[in-house]
Amino acid sequence: MFRANSSRTLGRETAEADAQHTTRRDIVRMAIKKSPLKKRDLEEIAAAFATPFHIYDERAIRRNARELLKAFAWNDGFKEYFAVKATPNPFILKILKSEGFGADCSSLPELILSEKAGIVGTGIMFSSNDTPANEFQKARQLNAVINLDDISHIPFLEKNGGIPKIISVRYNPGEQRAGSFIMGSPENAKYGFTRDQIFTGYSLLRQKGSRRFGIHTFVASNELDPDYFVETADMLFDLALEIEEKLKICLEFVNISGGIGIPYKPGQTKVDLAYVGREIEKKYKDKIRGTGLHPLSIFMECGRAITGPYGYLVSRVLHKKEIYKTHIGLDANMANLMRPGMYGAYHHITVAGKEDCPHDCTYDVTGSLCEPIDRFAIDRSLPRIETGDLVVIHDTGAHGHAMGFNYNGKLRSAELLLREDGSVVEIRRAETIEDHFATLSFGRLDRFEV
Ligand SMILES: Cc1ncc(COP(=O)(O)O)c(C=O)c1O
């Protein structure tokens, strides 16, 4: 474990300033995208742990988690099930559990990670698709709330784990809603029940013994329009009322899932969670309070909006290559962060110690994969960069390390946590060559006759 000199914090504002000026500081940070760590701190951490690494800011994650809970404090049953896929690290899950969050899991390893972090039972929402039998069995063993993705999964679950008393169903609204760049349009997406299937599905589940019901939908990803989420809640309120009327089933919760975007680009605006909470409350008062559905719990499964802005990929410049363009070659590559290559996604980049220098150079910032798309930035205006500089790639706290892969035998980096007291702990070590070759037997290779 690395521990910074306890007589100073790692170059960040004080806790008091954080508490008192959260909104102002957020706006400033959003506009200029600052890292909580200064060059001296980053060099110190890089000396203790090799670059590249992802580092997460615990204090900012906790503050943000509390902001979401505050926005929905009016709803007694409100629960955020953190989307484990965004940052599948049990240390992060344990922090979020201590803030009152549950876990949204979509696979067996994610279920196991949640269990290890102490999140079990109705603390887990199991929202998977094309689900293998052993995953349903594990979810049932943990007493997780299962969120069924397809009507054909009802008999499948019955055989593999059994139909639970409490169950949720994922709704695909089809043409009723626009989707997003990452998710595509709902009618073309592979997820969820159609509207008709919702009614048939609940009837069948009731016949088979389910007694407590919820509904879920997830149609857009990285959405920055706060009204989108208000409309989603409104749509589910209407559907819940229709289900009550037609089937006499009183849903206990509506899960408006995740998809809240973050301002990856300077100048974009953070989704105002207080506004979303307030506007959903208005719809609730209008439509649900005073009906048999009250009290109806609101659930969410945000990932990106919880941890995304509070993670940073820190990498050393290995090479500066001057050809038709200038390429800044990092010791990080797509194994550490796929989003720019995969989606053309923007991730802001700052250069440690050069935050205030003029951005008078234009660079492609690249990784070492034999893949032309392995670029963190294309034609980006940045301060003059030299080999040996440390660069900070912002907003990697969600769908960052998690999406890494091992093409070209590239290894995934460590994950570090900047704790509230300024110390830094390793919450996942970097992969080693031995890890990479663990699934091969070189002994058998030696005996292999050709
Ligand atoms: C079912 C489900 N819930 C929640 C999420 C989290 O999304 P986000 O991280 O964009 O909030 C995802 C993301 O893919 C998902 O598939």
pLDDT in tens, 251-268: 999 999 999 999 999 989
Query: How many domains does one find in the chain?
Result: 2
State whether 227 and 370 are in the same domain: no
Residue-averaged pLDDT of the chain? 92
pLDDT value, residue 350: 97
Question: Which residues, listed in sequence order, are joined to residue 349 by a DSSP beta bridge?
Answer: 393
In the chain, the percentage of residues whose pLDDT exceeds 70 is 91
pLDDT value, residue 53: 98
Residue 254 domain-assigned? yes
- The band of 183, judged by pLDDT with boundaries at 50, 70 and 90, is low
State whether 107 and 239 are in the same domain: yes
State whether 89 and 167 are in the same domain: yes
Q: Ligand 1 within 6 A of 86 CB?
A: yes
pLDDT value, residue 369: 96
Q: Ligand 1 within 6 A of 257 CB?
A: yes
- The band of 33, judged by pLDDT with boundaries at 50, 70 and 90, is confident
Q: Ligand 1 within 6 A of 262 CB?
A: no
Q: Ligand 1 within 6 A of 302 CB?
A: yes
Residue 375 Cα to ligand 1 midpoint, Å, equals 25
Residue 106 clears pLDDT 80, i.e. is over it = yes
State whether 62 and 41 are in the same domain: no
Residue 145 domain-assigned? yes
Residue 343 clears pLDDT 50, i.e. is over it = yes
What's the pLDDT tens digit per position in 391-423? Answer: 999 999 999 999 999 999 999 999 999 999 999
Residue 442 domain-assigned? no
| Domain enclosing residue 131, as ranges | 58-307
State whether 116 and 164 are in the same domain: yes
pLDDT value, residue 355: 94
pLDDT value, residue 16: 27
Q: Is 370 a catalytic residue?
A: yes
Residue 12 domain-assigned? yes
Atom of ligand 1 nearest to the CA of 304: 9
Residue 120 clears pLDDT 60, i.e. is over it = yes
pLDDT value, residue 32: 72
State whether 25 and 113 are in the same domain: no
pLDDT value, residue 405: 93
CATH number where 317 lies:
2.40.37.10
What's the pLDDT tens digit per position in 269-323? Answer: 999 999 999 999 999 999 999 999 999 999 999 999 999 999 999 999 999 999 9
Residue 184 Cα to ligand 1 midpoint, Å, equals 14
Residue 14 domain-assigned? yes
Residue 177 domain-assigned? yes
Residue 27 clears pLDDT 80, i.e. is over it = no
pLDDT value, residue 99: 98
State whether 111 and 249 are in the same domain: yes
What residue's CA is closest to ligand 1, atom 1? 127
243 neighbors 249 (Cβ within 8 angstroms): yes
Residue 13 clears pLDDT 50, i.e. is over it = no
CATH number where 192 lies:
3.20.20.10
Q: Using the 3D structure, point to which of 307, 338, 357 is the last residue of a domain.
A: 307
Q: Is 441 or 10 the better-scoring residue by pLDDT?
A: 441
Residue 443, φ and ψ in degrees, nearest 5: -65, -45
Residue 85 Cα to ligand 1 midpoint, Å, equals 8
Residue 450 domain-assigned? no
Residue 14 clears pLDDT 60, i.e. is over it = no
pLDDT value, residue 179: 61
Residue 233 Cα to ligand 1 midpoint, Å, equals 16
Residue 192 clears pLDDT 70, i.e. is over it = yes
Q: Ligand 1 within 6 A of 259 CB?
A: yes
Residue 443 domain-assigned? no
pLDDT value, residue 182: 60
Q: Determine if the peptide bond prior to 164 is cis (ω within 30°).
A: no
State whether 50 and 77 are in the same domain: no
pLDDT value, residue 219: 86
Q: Using the 3D structure, point to which of 307, 325, 359 is the last residue of a domain.
A: 307
pLDDT value, residue 180: 63
> Can you tell me the mean pLDDT for 124-145?
97
Q: Ligand 1 within 6 A of 216 CB?
A: no
In the chain, the percentage of residues whose pLDDT exceeds 90 is 87
pLDDT value, residue 220: 86
> Can you tell me the mean pLDDT for 118-145?
97
Residue 24 clears pLDDT 60, i.e. is over it = no
What's the pLDDT tens digit per position in 314-332? Answer: 999 999 999 999 999 999 9
User: What is the Cα–Cα distance from 1 to 22, expressed in whole angstroms?
Assistant: 30
Which of 106, 131, 224 most suits a substitution to test ligand 1, by most atoms within 8 Å of the C-beta?
106
Q: Ligand 1 within 6 A of 110 CB?
A: no
What residue's CA is closest to ligand 1, atom 10? 259
Q: Ligand 1 within 6 A of 398 CB?
A: yes
Residue 258 Cα to ligand 1 midpoint, Å, equals 5
Residue 34 Cα to ligand 1 midpoint, Å, equals 26
State whether 133 and 240 are in the same domain: yes
Residue 7 clears pLDDT 90, i.e. is over it = no
Residue with tokens 């997406």: 189
State whether 65 and 52 are in the same domain: no
Q: Using the 3D structure, point to which of 276, 307, 338 is the last residue of a domain.
A: 307
Question: Which residues, listed in sequence order, are joined to residue 297 by a DSSP beta bridge?
Answer: 253
298-to-90, 158, 160, 232, 380 alpha-carbon distances in Å = 25, 27, 29, 11, 41
pLDDT value, residue 156: 98
State whether 25 and 160 are in the same domain: no
State whether 352 and 420 are in the same domain: yes
pLDDT value, residue 11: 34
Least confident of 2-6, 54-58, 237-241, 439-443: 2-6
Residue 29 clears pLDDT 70, i.e. is over it = no
Catalytic residue, chosen from 302, 357, 361, 370, is 370
Which structure tokens are listed for 247?
Answer: 């089937």
Residue 189 clears pLDDT 60, i.e. is over it = yes
> Can you tell me the mean pLDDT for 63-88?
98
User: What is the Cα–Cα distance from 241 to 248, expressed in whole angstroms?
Assistant: 9
Q: Ligand 1 within 6 A of 397 CB?
A: no
Which of 61, 101, 126, 218 most suits a substitution to test ligand 1, by most atoms within 8 Å of the C-beta?
218
Residue 304 Cα to ligand 1 midpoint, Å, equals 8
Q: Which residue in 86, 110, 108 sits closest to 302, CA to CA?
A: 86
